Structure 1
């Protein structure tokens, strides 16, 4: 008579394993944010007003929800057309009132920074700058968009 064979448990399969496999490390690429200062060529062109917007959108007169939608549509169109400079007209801040509140901003102007930061196109924006007076000054901004990769 032969001795009984030892009982060997089957190797654990991925479905029966009790401890989960460690997740593979995925390198996190930092989100690209708009630069405060561009190279000297861009800086000179912006300061002197020798910048020509490739496209523009006028948001003043719209409510906040409508302006937000129009901004995202304009960004999508600008990126699709490989535009470098988008002029966004937000409207001038309100004049100082009789109450002396000269620090108030318009509603759209107050929200546009947040909209751009949370936009699905945020990584395509190289810089956000106040427009030259010939393009609206305090009532408009330039969005300098990154080139396609």
Structure 2
């Protein structure tokens, strides 16, 4: 089954001819002939298409931060086996969400400044609530969200759930970026 090709309108042919004039044809090829301008009724003149002689320069795009990467397998194995220790620990138990947010941001920036590579963030698992309307485990759910925020992308490379001896699902290993210009 063959597709029918749509015929170019006279305006599209004129536009293509204008574009084709700007390029050098390949050896043995010639430029397509310029279409004859068609007469249009005087009742509704079409606006002329103005083509720039060179493409406009786009505003410089700020490079996006790379995506978060998981903590390397070897590092995770060493942490789980106890052959590598975390550099620092913060326990967010018992803090309100706003307090924990500020404490986490400050802790991560201080840890990065002091050259630490892997830190442990303890969120707690959240207990069983007495009422179905009570929200439990808020920090456990919110801390990974905070670690993905653009404000922390210059600090955090990635994070993983901690091993059981470090808190399991109620804690996270967070890998920090090296500080630029240090050392």
Structure 2 CA distance for partners of 1:124 and 1:133, relative to 1, 3 Å: same
Cross-structure match for 1:31: 65
Structure 2 CA distance for partners of 1:57 and 1:119, relative to 1, 3 Å: farther
CA distance in 2, matches of 1:122, 1:49: 28
Large movers: runs of 4+ above 2 Å: 22-25, 46-51, 146-149
Does 2:151 align with 1:120?
yes
Aligned residue runs from structure 1 range 89-108, under 5 A:
89-95=122-128, 106-108=137-139
**TM-score normalised by length of structure 1:** 0.69
Structure 2 CA distance for partners of 1:48 and 1:145, relative to 1, 3 Å: same
CA distance in 2, matches of 1:107, 1:116: 14
Residues 60 and 91 in structure 1, CA contact (< 8 A), matched pair in contact too: yes
Does 2:96 align with 1:60?
no
CA distance in 1, matches of 2:68, 2:136: 22
Does 2:99 align with 1:71?
no
Q: Which has the higher contact order (CA 8 A, sep 6+)?
A: 1
| Structure 1 residue 37 displacement after superposition | 5.3
| Structure 1 residue 49 displacement after superposition | 4.4
Does 2:113 align with 1:87?
no
Residues 109 and 155 in structure 2, CA contact (< 8 A), matched pair in contact too: no
Measured on the aligned residues, the alpha-carbon RMSD in Å equals: 2.8
Structure 2 CA distance for partners of 1:67 and 1:31, relative to 1, 3 Å: same
Q: How many residues align?
A: 125
Cross-structure match for 2:161: 130
CA distance in 2, matches of 1:90, 1:69: 14
CA distance in 2, matches of 1:55, 1:46: 13
Cross-structure match for 1:18: none
| Structure 1 residue 47 displacement after superposition | 4.3
